Amino acid sequence: MSRRKRGRGARQAGWNAVGLAVFVVMVFPVFWMISTAFKSNEQIVSLNPTWFPLHPTLSHFRDAMNKPFFWADVKNSLIVVCVTVAIAIVLAFLAAVALARYGFAGRKLFVVLVIGIQMLPQAGLIIPLYVVLARYHQTNALTGLIVTYMTFVLPFCVWTLRGFLLGIPKELEEAAMVDGSTRLGVFIKILLPLMGPGLVATSVFAFITTWNEYIFARVLLNDQSKQTVTVWLSYFLGSSRHTDWGALMAASTLTAIPVVVFFLLVQRRIAFGLTSGAVRG
* Domain spanning 63-280: CATH 1.10.3720.10: yes
pLDDT of residue 84: 93
pLDDT at 275: 41
pLDDT at residue 274, rounded to an integer: 41
Whole-prediction pTM: 0.79
Domain edges within the chain? 2-57, 63-280
The residues of the chain scoring below 50 in pLDDT are 239, 272-281
**pLDDT tens column, 122-138:** 777 888 888 888 888 88
Q: What is the pLDDT of residue 86?
A: 92
Half-sphere exposure of 202 (CA within 13 A, CB side): 30
Q: Decide if 197 contacts 273 (C-beta within 8 A).
A: yes
Residue 50's SS3 state is: coil
Counting every residue written for the chain, the total comes to 281
Q: How far apart are CA 79 and CA 259, in angstroms?
A: 14
Residue 219 contacts residue 33 (beta carbons within 8 Å): no
Q: Quickly list DSSP for 27-47.
A: HHHHHHHHHHHTS-HHHHT-S
pLDDT value of position 79: 93
Residue 279: the pLDDT is: 38
Query: Which letter, b or e, does each residue of 246-272 get, where b requires 16 or more Cβ atoms within 10 Å of its Cβ?
Result: bbbbbbbbbbeebeeebeeebeebeee
DSSP string of 61-73?
HHHHHTSTTHHHH
Query: Are the beta carbons of 210 and 80 closer than 8 angstroms?
Result: yes
